[in-house]
Amino acid sequence: MIQPLSAQQLKRMLADGGRPLAILDAREEGEFGQGHLFWAVPCPLSRAELRLDELLPTRDATLVCVDGGGGHAQTLAALAAAQGHTRVHVLTGGTPAWAEAGFEVFSGVNVPSKAFGEWAEHHFGTESLDPPELAALQASGEPMVLLDSRTPEEFQRMTIPGAINVPGGELVYRIGEFAPDAGTTIVINCAGRTRSIMGAESLRRAGLPNRIVALRNGTMGWELAGFSCEHGAGRAHAPGIPPGAALAAERARSFARSAGVRTLPAADLATLLEDGRATYRLDVRTREEFLAGHVAGFTHAPGGQLVQATDNWVALRPARIILTDMGDGTRARMTGGWLSLLGQWEVLVLEGVPPEGPLATGPAPLAEVAHQPAITVAGLAAMADAVVIDLARSVDYRAGHIAGARWGLRTRLAPPPPAAMVVVTAPDERLAHLAVPELAALTTAPVRVLAGGTAAWREAGLPMQADRTIPADGECIDFHLRPYDRNSGVEAAMRDYLSWEIDLVHAVERDGDSRFGEPG
């Protein structure tokens, strides 16, 4: 039975910290980013059936559904109850009621992780330098290395000239490749602030003797200072075990121990999981390593991104998190130490590989949905009168879609124009299958799923088109646009974003629910 919950009751539950609790916001990410509770996690109705399964490893935790006051929370709660969740609540009045009760409301996304970055800078005294100082250092000829701690995709899109891509979760593990002696200055950058700070502070907490600094405000600050970024760069760390791996492992072990992280022998994993506690199992390596072979039951969550955007993978607090890097533990321990200090989760690092069964390969299994009739790429290409609905994220649709396809948001679909057939495509084909009966109620035409989605169409060499103005910025409600995703006001958006990020530490103090720095 779904129970109502007042803002005051929820605030007390957050302070209590007893039974595992998740706050899931039913709005689309762009709407969520306009204002939400600190520990709320986006669970938009457009993919709620899938997101519930991803975020909640147990069905007896306390689940509080919230929204912007528009009734979406009740729908999400009903979906959760239908999936078997037994302790489901709806915040009465949604986020507006929370604000009316005098509690803090946060804009933006990945707020706990970003606020933690600001806390870490204040708490540890992370050294930083401004873009002109970096430019002068690069020109000086002094031994230095600039490491971009973002994902390879972000790095290739734009980076500071001379930077090398080493994602944040890899930094301590691979620093021996780039700074083998103490006389090299190490500069860490990202797009804004969080991953610059956390990357630099990871190296400092690991005890490197070098001068280690974060680039203040990242690539945004670089461009705002009048410098240009490089596009299409491919500089990256070498694959395989890096130089200095043994020293890195010892450094990571010390940091993790200080943050309360414990180890779990792989032979004990199955027994531990039998206690029924809410447990997340995450593999922090690169995607390529994960696909090549991983422990069954573990989800891919690259370490730097896991710290930067924890709410993409973890919704429950308190909970247990088991991390693995299938190696010496350096990457798992560094990630685990930060998670322990961020969310007071109990963090364990898996040592070794469980004895039962071979490693799994390829992507982790996904929750099944009812399959609907499909059409092949060749079949769609042969049709002269079909309407294609693309359920990709708005920013991904802008970057490239099947020529003539219309962008759509599941659960908010409009009746398609008359056609011989309506074809649905989505990066996650499960979304397309979920949308078929919803579209069928809006049209008399047969509705089919495009087998293999847009990726299969692209691989077949069939016509694609891109237009970053469609949908317009104001229509991208499914995605919280970053400053550089916008079509106008980019510079102002960068300045606003950086100011927002800097102020987070003060908003967190007013909110009072974070308890950063207290090991799990």
**How is residue 400 written in tokens?**
């490239």
> For residue 200, which of 179, 181, 220, 221 has the smallest C-alpha distance?
179
Separation of alpha carbons 261 and 458, rounded Å:
45
Q: Check: CATH 3.40.250.10 for 3-109?
A: yes
Q: What is the DSSP string of 90-122?
A: EETTHHHHHHHTT---B-SSSHHHHHHHHHHHH
Is residue 1 pLDDT above 90, yes or no?
no
Is the pLDDT at 284 greater than 90, yes or no? yes
Q: What share of the chain is helix, strand, coil (3-state, %, to 5)?
A: 40, 20, 40
For domain 374-471, the CATH superfamily is: Rhodanese-like domain (3.40.250.10)
Residue 121: pLDDT band (50, 70, 90) is: very high
Residue 83 forms beta bridges with which residues? Answer: none
- When pLDDT is cut at 50, 70 and 90, the band that residue 17 belongs to is confident
CB 297 within 8 A of CB 359: no
Tell me if domain 3-109 and domain 374-471 are identical in fold.
Answer: yes
pLDDT confidence tier of residue 350, bands split at 50, 70 and 90: very high
pLDDT at residue 433 in the model: 97
Summarize the confidence of residues 351-371 as an average pLDDT.
Answer: 90
CATH annotation of 252-351: 3.40.250.10
Q: Is the domain covering 115-248 a CATH 3.30.70.990 domain? A: no
Cβ neighbours of residue 192 closer than 8 Å, sequence gap 6 or more: 217, 218, 219, 220, 497, 498, 501
Q: Is the pLDDT of residue 492 over 90?
A: yes
Q: Exposed, middle or buried, 162 (CB in 10 Å: 0-12/13-18/19+)?
A: middle
Is the confidence at residue 520, as pLDDT, over 80? Answer: no
pLDDT tens for 50-100 read: 999 999 999 999 999 999 999 999 999 999 999 999 999 999 999 999 999
Rounded to 5°, angle at Cα 440 from 437 and 444: 165
Closest CA to 343 of 497, 86, 178, 515: 515
pLDDT tens per residue, range 213-224: 999 999 999 999
3-state SS of 477-496 is: CCCCCCHHHCCCCHHHHHHH
* Whole-Å CA distances, 196 to 120, 188, 200, 308, 322: 11, 5, 6, 10, 25
Q: Where are the domains of the chain?
A: 3-109, 115-248, 252-351, 374-471
DSSP single-letter state for residue 513: -
Across 268-273, average pLDDT? 96
pLDDT reading at 382 higher than 80: yes
